[in-house]
Amino acid sequence: MTENYETLICMVGGRHEWARPIKPGRKPASCDIHRFAVDEDPDPPVRDWDENEEKRLRQLDALLKTKGISLSELEEATIKKVKSWQAMHKNDDTGEAIVTDLIGIEFSPAWESGPVWPVVQPGPEIASVPPKASRPKRPDGWLTSVVLPDIQMGYLRDPDTDLLVPYHDESALTVVRSVIRDIKPDRVVMNGDNLDFPEIGKYRKHPNFVRTTQAAINRMTQFCVDLRTDAPFADIDWLAGNHEERLPNYIIDNAVAAFGIRRGRPTPDDWPVLSVPYLCRLDESNVNFIPGYPASEIWLNDNFQIVHGDKVTSNGLTAKKFLDGARASVCYGHVHRREHMEKTRHTRNGPRTVGAYSFGCLCRIDGAVPSTKNGNDLMGRPMIRAEDWQQGFGVIHYESKGRQRFSVESVAIWDGWCRYQGKEYSAE
């Protein structure tokens, strides 16, 4: 008796019962020359099999063996239908009729009713999200904005433990949240590439990033709620970067019919269900999502602009590229480096100085983040090789009226520690 034959005998209820012991006399519920099907009864009655039914099963067993098909390798697939018929042709030499038995097998694959892996869902619903509070008036008219650059929220799967390892830096996020709670800013700007989305990027998909997107969405959903708790008075903006743009691009390239689909009876403000603001429940945490990279931007006042940025200089300051044609000062991300450069131009009204500022990143800088310069060992673990990146965040004080002046502070984070306004902040 072959392995396939034993498996055929074990088919009960339209599925394989691999571990189920075979009771003496137990057979599949029905089998005839035209059709083989399994009964949906999980415990079909024991019945006697006649010789012809036994023969049909052995024919099926022999056919599977001839074709090199092992049912045990098909996992959750089932045999949906077996058809048996006869064909006749004439012997060219003798003229006698030759009858040939034929059998056709139709398999029902495991994925016939949908994918077996979890489908991406919105982040977990948070039981209690603090509402945005009314912002107190500043007597001097100055406002404060905190800029969080390139969080790159994402995970890789450890090949030994199958656990998810973050390559955003939880220590850096803890530090910046502590500062936000202390200074109570009027605005928080998440400056793009807040989610990494390695699974749906244009580069080679490494096995260690498979099925990690949902975990990143879940973590970012909670992080936005945490920000709302830390900064109850603030306007919180999520500026889309090139990594957020991976999601709509992936849908357009692979499932264009799903692009822009919204829930039934939508309002004009409803987000598509396969979009960052919907998946991360940004409306619930009162976070304003600004799509449209690379054209998306935020103006703090007439003299200061925030963008994610699409300029990179490998050897030298990217800031110089922003200043070449700048008519206003700009804060940018994308490069993961702390940079600051200023340029003064002669104008009709006298000298005018503009600046370009990058505050670094809030992801790991040890080589864990997928990039064109890092590598992995033969099990997929990232090689520990530091990138030329720096961690930090920015604090911008600005006037929204009058002369619309501003003052920029770039705050460095070192191994989960920073010092700001005379106070030390540590993730420990």
Contact criterion met (CB below 8 Å) for 159 and 210: no
The CA distance from 213 to 243, in Å, is 13
3-state secondary structure of 248: helix
Q: Same domain, yes or no, for 92 and 165? A: no
Q: Give the closest residue to 83 by CA, choosing from 67, 62, 106, 63.
A: 106
- Could you tell me what percent of the chain has a pLDDT over 90? 54
Same domain, 109 and 150: no
Does a structural domain hold residue 218?
Answer: yes
For the stretch 348-367, pLDDT in tens is 889 999 999 999 999 999 98
Q: Round to whole Å and give the CA distance between 32 and 35.
A: 6
211 and 311 co-located in one domain? yes
What contacts 168, CB < 8 A, 6 or more positions away? 151, 152, 153, 154, 196, 219, 362, 363, 364
| Same domain, residue pair 163 and 95 | no
Residue carrying the six token digits 């054209």: 295
Interval 400-417: pLDDT, tens: 999 999 999 999 999 999
Pair (166, 20) in one structural domain: no
**pTM of structure:** 0.74
Distance CA 57, CA 196 (A): 53
Tell me: do 21 and 166 sit in the same domain: no
Please state, in angstroms and rounded to a whole number, the distance separating the CA atoms of residues 352 and 340.
17
E strand or H helix that includes residue 55: helix 51-66
Closest listed residue to residue 242, CA positions, set 278, 205, 209, 194? 194
What is the mean pLDDT of the segment spanning 13-30? 38
Question: How is 87-141 classified by DSSP, letter by letter?
Answer: EEEE-TTT--EEEEEEEEEEEE-GGGGS-SSPPP-PPPPPS--PPPPPPPPPTT-
Same domain (yes/no): 386, 260: yes
Residue 136 falls inside a structural domain? no
| 3-state class (DSSP) for residue 53 | helix
Task: Write out the residue range of the structural domain in which residue 415 sits.
Answer: 142-426
Both 412 and 322 in a single domain? Answer: yes
Same domain, 230 and 321: yes
Structural domain tally of the chain? 2
Give 99-135 pLDDT, tens digit per residue. Answer: 887 777 777 766 566 666 667 899 998 888 878 888 7
109 and 157 share a domain? Answer: no
Q: Is residue 128 part of a domain?
A: no
Flag whether 129 is in a domain: no
Domain stop point among 64, 93, 113 = 113
DSSP 188-227: EEE-S--B--GGGSSS---GGGTT-HHHHHHHHHHHHHHH
Q: What span, in angstroms and rounded, lies between the C-alpha atoms of 190 and 227?
A: 10
How do residues 42-90 score in pLDDT, each as one tens digit? 454 444 556 776 777 777 777 777 767 766 655 556 667 777 778 888 8
For residue 382, cis peptide bond before it (omega within 30 degrees of 0): no
- Half-sphere exposure of residue 251, counting CA atoms within 13 Å on the CB side? 15
Same domain, 297 and 400: yes
**392-399 and 142-148: which strand pairing?**
antiparallel
* Residue 278, domain member (yes or no): yes
On whether residue 122 sits in a domain, the answer given is no
Reported as a single tens digit per residue, the pLDDT across 229-262 is 999 999 999 999 999 999 999 999 999 999 999 9
In a domain, 322, yes or no: yes
Looking at residues 159-173, what average pLDDT do you find?
Answer: 94
102 and 191 share one domain: no
Q: Is 376 exposed, middle or buried (0-12, 13-18, 19+ CB in 10 A)?
A: middle
Instruction: Report yes or no on 131 lying in a domain.
Output: no
Q: What is the CATH number of the domain that holds 370?
A: 3.60.21.10
Q: Are 116 and 110 in contact (CB under 8 A)?
A: yes
Residue 116: per-residue pLDDT: 61
